[in-house]
Structure formats: structure tokens, C-alpha cells
């Protein structure tokens, strides 16, 4: 067994986001978004507003978080990030409840596997619209909201190592995630004038139910074998890096994409 092949215990919280108000997209269920919502609350966030298109899972996630952390700290709003009005309603819910938005985590994204020669325009456009277009819409709305705040704010985007590395059947997803990285860099320059930092994480392989649905067992086994630790990341391990980027510990970082990966080159 390789060193690090077993996930460590979740580290104890240190109040890194004490008093912050956080919005997380695609936060229903047990993936990176759900893990992020939980970690920001564990790290002392005043409140979290979670969005997702799956209303039942969203309600279940909000109920579970509210039972553990208190109903006053958790609010859920159905949000399709391809619809500007729903994006606006999600962020407005945070300002209505807390008077501000300190952190936005753009987690929403759509994957899938399709060889380029077989890929349809609809497949290409849908992945780009959710993954890149959704990040753009939410970032635009957050910058508009944060520019009038005394302390600015922080935006953390969820990219992917596939934005750097080639993988068969992932042309649409890779293009979208590379676009998220470029958007992060450009938004960071504009955000700096507004007191807003913008960074991104790039996970390699974080296991969650949605990944299992869109990936074959054979491909998952192949990808896992390429990881230096011989295992996939737990969603909370990615969430921890998101928390770092959202916290004052990364106060001089902007425009960066941080790989959350142990994958071989």
C-alpha cells in the first residue's frame, strides 16, 4: 500500500471563515459543492446560501446542514446557472439575509464523455453553457454585488486538471474548464480594482455520485491508478483548498489556479 493511499481524518476547524457569508452553487448532494458548504460552516461562516437545479436533493442538503449547524445559518435557493434571473435570485438571497456576499464558490459544472467525431452541437453547447457560461454569469453578478462592499469579497471557481491535460472524450469539458481558468485570470485583474480576489481550484479525481454516473468503472480505475497516492480525493479535501482560497490566509493570491491533485504528469 502506498503512503497516503488512505484518506486522512478531516482536520479540525480553525475559524478561517468566521463571520463570512458564503454562496455555493451546485451544492446539493455529497459532491464538492456539498462538502464545501459543510466546511465553510465548520470554519465559522455566519451563513451559507446553497443553490442547485435538483430541488429535492437541494432541500435534503439544506435540511441536513440546518439540523447540524442551525437553520439561521443555512438557506437554499433553486438555481440554474444558465439562467441569469435565477443567478441573480441566488445572490440576492444572500444579501437579503446577511446584507452582503463575502464569498462566492462557483462549483456548478457539467461533464460527460463523448468522442469528438461523435459529439453533437447540443452536447458541446450544453457543457460549455453550464460549466463556463454559468461561472461567467455568477462571477459577473458577484462582482456587481461586491464592488460596493467595504471589504470587497472573494470568488473561488472550480476548474479541473483536464483544463491543462488531454483526455479522450473530454473535449467539451476540457475546453470549458480551460475557459474557467482564463476567466479566473481576467476576472482577477478587474476584481482587484474592486477589492475582490478571484482564484480557482483544479481537482484531478474527486469521487462523488455524479462522477460515477457519467464515467465507466474501467475509466475510474484507470484514472485512480494514475494518482500518486493510488486513491481519489475525498470531496472535503478539495473543499479544504477552496476554504483556504476564500480565507485571509490567501490574501495576496488572485488569478491563480491551484491543482488539487496527486496525478502523475
| Catalytic residue positions, numbered | 173
CB 227 within 8 A of CB 204: yes
Q: Report the interhelical angle of 134-146 vs 171-192 (nearest 10°).
A: 10
The whole-angstrom separation of Cα 232 and Cα 102 is: 30
Strands in 153-158's sheet, in edge-to-edge order, are: 74-78, 47-52, 21-24, 103-106, 153-158, 196-203, 257-260
Contact between 173 and 112 (Cβ < 8 Å):
yes
Q: Can you name the residues that pair with 260 across neighbouring β-strands? A: 203
**Which residue, among 244, 221, 217, has the nearest Cα to 11 in the 3D structure?**
244
The closest alpha carbon to 82, from 35, 147, 120, 25, belongs to 25
CB 67 within 8 A of CB 74: no
Closest CA to 198 of 150, 148, 158: 158
Amino acid at each position: 500500500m502506498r503512503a497516503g493511499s488512505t484518506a486522512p481524518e478531516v482536520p479540525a476547524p480553525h475559524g478561517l471563515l468566521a463571520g463570512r457569508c458564503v454562496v455555493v452553487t451546485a451544492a446539493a448532494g455529497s459532491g464538492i459543492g456539498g462538502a464545501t458548504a459543510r466546511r465553510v460552516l465548520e470554519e465559522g461562516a455566519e451563513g451559507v446560501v446553497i443553490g442547485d437545479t435538483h430541488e429535492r436533493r437541494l432541500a435534503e442538503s439544506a435540511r441536513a446542514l440546518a439540523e447540524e449547524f442551525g437553520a439561521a445559518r443555512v438557506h437554499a435557493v433553486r438555481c440554474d446557472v444558465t439562467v441569469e434571473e435565477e443567478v441573480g435570485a441566488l445572490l440576492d438571497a444572500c444579501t437579503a439575509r446577511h446584507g452582503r456576499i463575502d464569498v462566492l464558490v462557483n462549483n456548478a459544472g457539467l461533464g460527460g464523455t463523448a468522442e469528438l467525431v461523435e459529439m453533437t452541437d447540443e452536447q458541446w453547447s450544453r457543457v460549455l453553457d453550464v460549466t463556463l457560461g454559468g461561472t461567467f454569469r455568477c462571477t459577473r453578478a458577484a462582482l456587481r454585488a461586491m464592488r460596493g462592499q467595504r471589504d470587497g469579497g472573494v470568488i473561488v471557481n472550480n476548474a479541473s486538471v483536464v483544463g491543462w491535460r488531454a483526455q479522450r472524450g473530454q473535449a467539451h469539458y476540457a475546453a470549458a474548464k480551460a475557459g474557467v481558468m482564463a476567466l479566473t485570470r481576467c476576472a482577477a485583474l478587474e476584481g482587484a480594482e474592486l477589492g475582490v480576489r478571484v482564484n480557482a481550484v483544479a481537482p484531478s479525481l474527486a469521487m462523488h455520485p455524479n462522477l460515477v454516473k457519467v464515467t465507466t468503472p474501467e475509466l475510474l480505475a484507470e484514472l485512480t491508478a494514475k494518482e500518486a497516492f493510488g486513491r481519489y480525493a475525498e470531496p472535503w479535501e478539495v473543499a479544504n483548498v477552496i476554504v483556504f482560497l476564500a480565507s485571509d490566509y490567501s490574501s495576496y493570491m488572485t488569478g491563480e489556479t491551484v491543482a488539487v491533485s496527486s496525478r502523475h504528469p
